[in-house]
Amino acid sequence: MNSAPNAPSSPKTAPPSVIPVMLPDVSLRARNSFGFDVLAEQAYSITDAEHIGAVMEAIKAANLPWRVLGGGSNVVLPPTLSGVTLLMDIAGQAITQQDERGAVVSVGAGVNWHDFVIWTLDHSLPGLENLALIPGTVGAAPIQNIGAYGVEVGEYIQSIEAYDCHSKTLVNLLASECAFTYRNSIFKAHPNRYIITRVHFYLPAAWSPRLRYADLAAAFVNRHVPTAEEVMVAVCKIRNRKLPDPKLIGNAGSFFQNPIVEKAQYLALLKQFPELVSYPEGNEQEGKRKLAAGWMIDHCGFKGLRAGAVGVYQHQALVLVNHGGGSADSVLALAKTIQDKVQDTFGVTLAIEPIRY
Ligand code: EPU
C-alpha cells in the first residue's frame, strides 16, 4: 500500500519494552452496547500501535482466533469470546496540519466518537456535526463508514493508519484505498487484514450546513443559516427522540441496512405500496433506490414487539433492543423472523448491519 505523501506522522512514542499484559476472563458486559453478558477468554488493552506486532506474534504462536473490539456498539457478541480480544484503547487527538484551506486532525482509534465530534467543534473545525451522538469509537467509524443525515465519515477521512497483518507493519491507507461505500469499506470486507490504530481526518475550512435530510432541514425552517454547533444540537435532539440510549436500553443502532434495489423492482414495489419510503442511490441514470428498512419493518407490524428479553424499539423499527437478559441467540432469532416476513411481503432481503462473532 502507498504511503500518503502528505500524511502526518503519528506522535512518536518510546519503543515498547514488553508486550501488554494478557487479561484472562474479562467481562465485556459494559463494553457491548446491547449489554449482553459476554466473557472474553483472553484480552489485551491496546494503548499503543507499536505494541500490536508483539501481541499478534503471540496470538499466531498460540494459534488462537482473535478480533478487535472498539466501543462494542455495532457488534452482536456470543456469551463466550474464545481466543483473544484486542480492546482498542489508543487515545489522543491533535491538529497536525492547518492552513487557510483546512486542517488535518489525527485521532487515536480508541477515542469516543461523539467526544471527538464535540472536540472538533470546540476547535472551530466544523464538518462532522451531522454525525454527532453516533455511539462507538473513532477506529470503528471507518469500518462501516458510519453515516447519518446525509453525511458519511469517509468523506472527511484523509488516510488511516493501520497494522497490516500481511506485511506485519503499520501502513497508512489513503481514503481512496479504503473503498468507502454505504456502510462498507475494505476493513469490513477483510476483517482480519487491518487493525485501525489512528484516523487522519481532513476538515476543509470552507463550510456550509448540510441539511438535505428532511428531518434536519425541518429544525431550521424560516431561520438564519445555522452554525455547526446548532446543527449538532439539532442532530442530537432528533437522535434522542428516535433512537434508544444504550446506557438505558441495550441496542446496536440500526440492526439492518437499508436495502438498495434496481429501478424496476422499486417501481413494482411502489405500485403495490404507494407509501413506501425510499431515497435515490448512486447516479440518477441507473435509478437505483435505497429503501427505508425501518418503514418496511414497521409496515409488517413489528414496531414495539417484544420477544422475551429482546424486541423492536417502539420509536424506530430498524433498531432491535435488549430489555435485559437477552443474548446473541435471542436477538438473531428475532432478526430472522423479521427478515423472513420482509422477504415474504416485499421480496427484499434485509442484511444485518452489526458485525456478528
Ligand atoms: N420509518 C418508519 N417506521 C419506523 C422507522 C422509520 O416509517 O419504525 C420511516 C421514517 O418515517 C422515515 C424513513 O423510514 O421516513 C427512514 O427513517 P429514518 O429517517 O429514521 O432513518 P433510517 O433509514 O431508519 C438511517 C441510518 C441511521 C441514521 C438515520 C439518519 C441506516 C441503516 N440507518 O436510518 O443510522 O441515523 O438514517 O440519517 O442507514 C445506524 O446506522 O446505526 C443508524 C442509526
The number of helix segments (H) and strand segments (E) in the chain equals 8, 20
N-to-C CA span, the chain: 28
Q: For residue 242, which atom of ligand 1 is closest to its CA? A: 20
Active site includes 353? yes
User: In the block, which residue shows the cell 455547526?
Assistant: 228
In sequence order, the 6+-apart residues with CB closer than 8 A to the CB of 228 are: 121, 126, 127, 129, 207, 209
**C-alpha angle 96-104-253 in degrees, rounded to nearest 5:** 120
Specify which residues 321 forms β-bridges with: 251, 311
| Ligand 1 pocket by Cβ (under 6 Å) | 148-149, 213, 215, 242-243, 253-254, 257-258, 277, 292, 294-295, 298, 303, 316-318, 353
Q: For residue 290, which atom of ligand 1 is closest to its CA? A: 23
Q: For residue 149, which atom of ligand 1 is closest to its CA? A: 38
Report how far ligand 1's centroid is from the alpha carbon of 286 (Å): 23
Q: What is the pLDDT of residues 267-306, one digit of tens each?
A: 999 999 999 999 988 777 888 999 999 999 999 999 999 9
Average pLDDT over residues 115-123: 98
Q: Is the pLDDT of residue 133 over 60?
A: yes
Other Cβ atoms less than 10 A from the Cβ of 206: the count is 9
Report the predicted TM-score, pTM, of the whole model to 2 decimal places. Answer: 0.93
Q: What is the pLDDT of residues 50-67, one digit of tens each?
A: 999 999 999 999 999 999
Residue 18: what pLDDT? 65
Average pLDDT over residues 101-129: 98
Q: What is the pLDDT of residues 10-49, one digit of tens each?
A: 445 555 446 789 999 999 999 999 999 999 999 999 999 9
Confidence bin at 97 (pLDDT 50/70/90): very high
Domains of the chain in sequence order: 23-88 (3.30.43.10), 93-204 (3.30.465.10), 243-356 (3.90.78.10)
Residue 354: what pLDDT? 96
Residue 284: what pLDDT? 79
Q: What is the rounded average pLDDT for all residues in the chain?
A: 94
Active site includes 177? no
Report how far ligand 1's centroid is from the alpha carbon of 295 (Å): 8
Looking at the chain, the whole-number percentage of residues with pLDDT higher than 90 is 90
All cell numbers assigned to 278: 425510499
Residue type at position 304: G
* Nearest CA, atom 32, ligand 1: 257
Looking at the chain, the whole-number percentage of residues with pLDDT higher than 70 is 95
Q: For residue 74, which atom of ligand 1 is closest to its CA? A: 42
Report how far ligand 1's centroid is from the alpha carbon of 279 (Å): 11
Active site includes 183? yes
Q: CB of 29 within 8 A of CB of 35?
A: yes
Best probe residue, ligand 1, of 184, 290, 315, 318 (max atoms within 8 Å of C-beta): 318
Distance CA 305, CA 314 (A): 8
The closest of 241, 235, 16 to 146, measured between CA atoms, is 235
Q: For residue 146, which atom of ligand 1 is closest to its CA? A: 41
Catalytic-role residue among 254, 278, 327, 330: 254
Confidence bin at 3 (pLDDT 50/70/90): very low
* Nearest CA, atom 43, ligand 1: 254
Q: For residue 303, which atom of ligand 1 is closest to its CA? A: 8
Q: Is the pLDDT of residue 151 over 60?
A: yes
* Nearest CA, atom 11, ligand 1: 295
Residue 285: what pLDDT? 81
Q: What is the pLDDT of residues 178-225, one digit of tens each?
A: 999 999 999 999 989 999 999 999 999 999 999 999 999 999 987 789
Q: Is the pLDDT of residue 117 over 80?
A: yes
* Nearest CA, atom 25, ligand 1: 148
In sequence order, the 6+-apart residues with CB closer than 8 A to the CB of 306 are: 323
Report how far ligand 1's centroid is from the alpha carbon of 291 (Å): 10
With 0-12 / 13-18 / 19 or more C-beta atoms within 10 angstroms meaning exposed / middle / buried, residue 83 is middle
Report how far ligand 1's centroid is from the alpha carbon of 311 (Å): 17
All cell numbers assigned to 76: 452482536
Catalytic-role residue among 10, 152, 161, 183: 183
Residue 15: what pLDDT? 52
Other Cβ atoms less than 10 A from the Cβ of 284: the count is 8
Report how far ligand 1's centroid is from the alpha carbon of 45 (Å): 34
Report how far ligand 1's centroid is from the alpha carbon of 218 (Å): 16
The values of phi and psi at residue 235, to 5°, are -60, -45
